[in-house]
Structure 1
Amino acid sequence: MPGVEHAGGAGRTLCGIRGRYLKLFLHHFQPRAVVDSAQDENEGDGWREYDDAVPVLATTLELLATRGPLGPVWWRYGRPGRHSLLDALENPDNRAAYNQRQKAREKRARQEHREWMRTLACADCGKVPKEESTWHYGPDGSRLEWNRQPGGRCWTCHQDREERLEREAEEQLEAARTANAALRHVGTLTQRNAQTLRNGDLLVGWGSQPYVSEFSRSGDLLFNARFPEGVNSYRAYRFDWK
């Protein structure tokens, strides 16, 4: 009986296809390996084509007698180990199995990409971008690529923040100009003093007037504090905190 192994005499003898004769039939039962080289992330994964292959199974009378024909008693040429009859006839490494592995890889990649995109949520509005980079137009009309970074802002919030900071800077500058202009009309007759600081700035205590001010060498107002009504400073000095 070809392909059946039996016990007898001093040892076990394989009857059927052996040695050089087996090589003549390899192309009939050995599948053709296919590697999907186009998918670099698959690390050489592929499948086997069984369209022109005929499964060749073998077993022994001893195994059939002890475990029955449905037990793991079948060898399949080209595959290691013993299998049940149905498993031996199956082709677990075919294209369908590869497609399942590929779908799992793609699903995992999409999940990892979604998790990465969540780290790019805008720090102000919290919206998750649809793409890692978007296009916008610069002040000169040129097209620029805006790359998102974790903890960053979307382009809209970035523009809003830049405009807000610019407005706040203008408001602070205008407030300093207003305070500087107001101090030009401040005068005091008693308890006033001036201290030249190490960097050349001048600290002024307005005495009977409720102000303490600091001016740069060029006369610009750098700091101004006002005490509550009815409170004066008498003298004002600035020292390092210890």
Structure 2
Amino acid sequence: MPPVGQLARDHWRGAWNGDGHAPEGEQPDGYRDYDRKVPLLATTLKLLAAHGPHVPVGWRYGHSTWQSLDDALDNPDDFRAYSVRAEARRKAREAELERARREREEERHRMEAAQWVCPGCRSSVYPDAGLTASGECSPCLSDRRRAAEAAQEQTGQAPGGGIFGWRRRA
């Protein structure tokens, strides 16, 4: 049986059509095109007569196990199977995108719930902007510090105070 299968290989083996460019982390996928191919089956009359065609008595070249006639005539690696795998991959990608969208939405809701109004500028401030002891936002606190430093310079005091305040400035 093996020499017959090898000699007839071009007539029963489908042509491979691979997608060739799998996303990162996935194996390349594809299917066999059995257009204009004839399935080559082998069995013995003894097995067929004893068990009939509905139990695994036939061997299809290119398949790995003994099969019933119906299973042997099916092409588990054809475009139908590829379409099912592609649809499963598409659904998995959509589920991942939906999960990421939900996480972003939940994070946005957490940020909205944690915001406060700055007493200095009256704008909405989010936790990552930095809350000071006075409740001011970081920009208002920076503006107040710059104003204090400018006032100190105008009065002639060293910014940072003390005799060595000029050294801290650098």
Scaled to the shorter chain, the TM-score interval is 0.5 to 0.7
1:22 Cα offset (Å): 4.3
1:62 Cα offset (Å): 2.4
1:40 Cα offset (Å): 2.5
Q: Distance in 2 between matches of 1:59 and 1:81?
A: 12
**Closer/same/farther in 2, CA of residues 123 and 47 from structure 1, 3 Å limit:** closer
The Cα offsets for residues 2-21 of structure 1, whole Å up to 9 and x where unpaired, read as: xxxxxxxxxxxx5xxx53x5
Q: Distance in 2 between matches of 1:117 and 1:57?
A: 51
Q: Are residue 80 (structure 1) and residue 47 (structure 2) matched?
A: no
The Cα offsets for residues 110-133 of structure 1, whole Å up to 9 and x where unpaired, read as: 112111211112556x3xxxxxxx
Q: Are residue 169 (structure 1) and residue 136 (structure 2) matched?
A: yes
> Greater strand share, 1 or 2?
1
Which of 68, 85, 91 lines up with 2:52 in the alignment?
Answer: 68
Question: TM-score normalized by structure 1?
Answer: 0.45
Contact 2:21 2:28 in 1 (8 A): no
Which of 47, 50, 71 lines up with 2:31 in the alignment?
Answer: 47
User: Which stretches in structure 2 are left out of the alignment for 5+ residues?
Assistant: 123-134, 141-160, 162-170
Q: Are residue 90 (structure 1) and residue 74 (structure 2) matched?
A: yes
Match of 1:107 in 2: 91
Q: Secondary structure at the match of 1:79?
A: coil
The Cα offsets for residues 196-218 of structure 1, whole Å up to 9 and x where unpaired, read as: xxxxxxxxxxxxxxxxxxxxx9x
Aligned residue runs from structure 1 range 1-80, under 5 A? 19=3, 22-41=5-24, 42-80=26-64
Q: Distance in 1 between matches of 2:14 and 2:102?
A: 44
Per chain length, whose mean CA-contact separation is higher, i.e. which structure has more relative contact order (CA < 8 Å, sep 6+)?
Answer: 2
Q: Distance in 2 between matches of 1:44 and 1:122?
A: 35
Match of 1:116 in 2: 100
How many equivalent pairs are there?
Answer: 125
Paired AA for residue 61 in structure 2: Y
Structure whose CA Rg is larger:
1
Q: Distance in 2 between matches of 1:67 and 1:121?
A: 61
Aligned residue runs from structure 1 range 177-216, under 5 A? none
The Cα offsets for residues 26-62 of structure 1, whole Å up to 9 and x where unpaired, read as: 1101111222113335411111110121101111122
User: Which stretches in structure 1 are left out of the alignment for 5+ residues?
Assistant: 1-13, 127-150, 174-216, 218-242
Question: TM-score normalized by structure 2?
Answer: 0.61
- Structure 1 runs of 4+ off > 4 angstroms? none
> Greater helix share, 1 or 2?
2
Q: Larger deviation: 81-90 or 38-47?
A: 38-47
1:105 Cα offset (Å): 0.7
